Amino acid sequence: MMLQQHLLFVLYSFCGIVIKEAATKNKVKGSQAQFPITQNVTVVEGSTANMTCRVDYNDNTSLQWSNPAQQTLFFGDKKALRDNRIELVRASWKELTISISDVALSDEGQYTCSLFTMPVKTSKAFLTVLGVPAKPEITGLSRPAQEGEDVTLTCTTSGSKPAADIRWFRNDKEVQGQKEVNATGRSFTVRSSVHLKVDRKDDGAAYTCVVEHVTLGSLPHQVTEVLEVHYPPQVKIVHSVIVPQEGQYFKLECMSKGNPLPEPVMWTKDGGELPDIERMIVEGRDLIITTLNKTDNGTYRCEASNHLGTNRDEFVLYVYAKDFPGTTTDPNALTQHGPDHALIGGVVAVVVFITLCFIIVLGRYLARHKGTYLTNEAKGAEDAPDADTAIINAEGNHAHAEEKKEYYQGAARNVVHLKSENLGFANNYALRQEYVRCIM
């Protein structure tokens, strides 16, 4: 019996030692696993940020959140800082989650989660707050611009973090702007400008400033300014009938553009007032002649004015007889009061040029042949006793002179001794020519 009790005591002692060592090992292992875990958080200004701290094992040790200024926000489930925006979401031995509503840029910074073991263990989490850019504003157009004026449009947005991006569009086409970024506290003010020298084509053009930012997603801020450009009028007269004839209805339309729009326009004829107000009616910008006649021939002028200037256009009216041939096929007849002097002048110039060329060519031809004749005559007269010999010598050299002379003398004798039955040959042109040359 004593032996059995002794064995049981030894067994119990051994089991207790084993259990105690196991407990000690588990405690050491758990102590090594007690380390807080946090994550960085990014939120948009004005929204709510949730800060979470977790541990895998906790032996009833408290967790605590502190702000960037090292002020305690929550110790376990106990609130330590009086800030109505900060609330407890979840508190346990393994997790402490708090929320910060209506987050401001000033809330940005490094937050600390602490686990009060021996020693205290901590984990850091950085809260990033994105600043939303304010709606943009375009400045630089306090009054209507005048044609030729230099204008600078500036688009400004503030409060963005990081700095926003600005793009410009003229109607639907993107134009380049000059960007400027300035830091304002924790946020940025961004400006972009476009410079232009306005003309009448810019009147009514829409310039749009588009602000893009990560906080805006696919819905960027934008604002549009429509340019108003003042410019002097432009005037053009359009007629209703191609070939005006007597008895027709005729209308001249004065098409005028300008800003401000010129109202009204002024119609005159040949520099004076309209002569027949009963047939010549002005309706708005139109001049209407109810029934054309020859007395309506003349120059009609439309004049338009605004505070920037005056412009005018003229139309020369020529009224044809009702049955005048060719009036229906002659579109140029509107401006013809008589012969085309330019065409006549051109024809005269061509005729004079051709005549001068002919005279020059003829003169050169006569001078050349006269020089040849005199030269040949001079050559033949060098050794000739008389004019006949000079001519003969001019036609050939001296070696053949005697042969030519005998030939002509023989021909002359033949002609003189022609019989009556051979007289018919005298009619031969060549024979008569030789006869004449022989007797010369």
Specify the pLDDT at position 99. Answer: 96
Specify the pLDDT at position 438. Answer: 44
- pLDDT per residue of the chain (440 residues) written in tens, 0 to 9: 444 544 444 444 544 444 444 444 444 444 445 789 999 999 999 999 999 999 988 777 889 999 999 999 999 999 999 899 999 999 998 999 999 999 999 999 999 999 988 889 999 999 999 999 999 999 998 789 999 999 999 999 999 999 999 999 999 899 999 999 999 899 999 999 999 999 999 999 999 999 999 999 999 999 999 999 999 999 999 998 889 999 999 999 999 889 998 888 999 999 999 998 889 999 988 999 999 999 999 999 999 999 889 999 999 999 998 765 555 444 443 343 445 566 677 788 888 888 888 888 888 778 776 655 444 544 554 555 554 554 455 444 444 445 444 544 554 454 444 444 444 444 444 444 544 454 44
- Residues 87-126 as b or e (16 or more Cβ within 10 Å = b): ebeebeeebbbbbbeebeeebbeebbbbbebeeeeebebe
Specify the pLDDT at position 341. Answer: 60
Specify the pLDDT at position 373. Answer: 47
User: 379-386: which pairs have CB atoms within 8 A and are 24 or more residues apart?
Assistant: none
Q: Please tell me the number of Cα atoms within 13 Å of 319 on its side-chain side.
A: 17
Specify the pLDDT at position 366. Answer: 80
Classify 244 as helix, strand or coil. Answer: coil
SS3 of 47-90: CCEEEEEECCCCCCCCEEEECCCCCEEEECCEECCCCCCEEEEE
Specify the pLDDT at position 389. Answer: 54
Specify the pLDDT at position 72. Answer: 95
Specify the pLDDT at position 370. Answer: 60
Specify the pLDDT at position 74. Answer: 95
The distance from CA 14 to its chain's CA centroid, rounded to whole angstroms, is 97
